[in-house]
Amino acid sequence: MDLTTSYPSSVHEKFHGLVQIKRTIDKGVALAHGNIGEYHYNCPMDQAVFGFLGIDHEALLNEIKTKSRAEADAYAATFIAKKTPAEIEAWNHEYVAHKPEGESLTYFIGLRNEIAPDRTDVVTWADLLDLDEKREVPVRVAA
């Protein structure tokens, strides 16, 4: 995976039913190969999924560096398998619906205004990242 020429998986893309982890692994693979570009492995979004799963980011990165992608994926899958479908569904819903607050909100709005100033309906990091990475983001009605 070369993140200097392509994008990681979408936050919304599921791996064993869980959002974000595929993107996180993509960034780890790119970091291991020295081509992570502007992305950051173990960013706050990655930290959230690591916390939910109980994965140490360095241990996962070590798996990525020393094993095949399939083996690294299998390692992550063992942590996902410890969660019930209900836990995963609830976490996914909360994760993709999470809205920035405080200083994060100020930064978010500035970034959204650079990427798509007409998309004030975009209020979550998951959707903003998809917009920034040229993915289709449905227009939503404000609540």
At a CB cut-off of 8 Å and minimum separation 6, what does 60 contact?
24, 25, 28, 50, 72, 75, 76
pLDDT of residue 66: 96
pLDDT given at position 20: 97
Contact 30, 42 (CB under 8 A): no
Mean pLDDT for the chain?
95
Q: Does residue 141 have a pLDDT over 90?
A: no
* Alpha-carbon distances of 62 from 19, 20, 31, 54, 69, rounded to whole Å: 22, 19, 11, 16, 12
pLDDT at 142 over 80: no
10-19, 32-41, 98-107: least confident range: 98-107
Region 56-62: what's the mean pLDDT? 97
User: Stretch 7-22: mean pLDDT, rounded?
Assistant: 97
